[in-house]
Amino acid sequence: MFVCICNALNDRTVNELVASGAATTPAAIHRAAGCKPQCGRCLPDMAEMIAEHRTANAFAQAAD
């Protein structure tokens, strides 16, 4: 599924960048992918994916 249609970034790529720690903001995701935001429609979805990743990490750390 494409997250950013303007730059053809799919959810797999975005999740990999977020999980690797290479990107902690939507702008950083674009930078890490070698592109720039254009229309901006993907920014809320990317922010949500980052938040979900942080929540999952917090739960994982709490379980340790």
Quick check: 17 binds ligand FES (CB under 6 A)? no
* 24 near ligand FES, judged by CB under 6 A: no
- How many of the chain's residues bind ligand FES (CB under 6 A)? 10
Residue 20, classified by CB atoms within 10 Å of its CB into exposed (0-12), middle (13-18) or buried (19+), is exposed
Angle at 27 between CA 61 and CA 57, to 5 degrees: 5
23 interacts with ligand FES by CB under 6 A: no
Interface stretch with ligand FES, choices 17-25, 35-43, 54-62 (CB under 6 A): 35-43
According to DSSP, the residues that pair with 4 across neighbouring strands are 9
Which residues make up the interface to ligand FES (CB under 6 A)? 4-7, 37-42
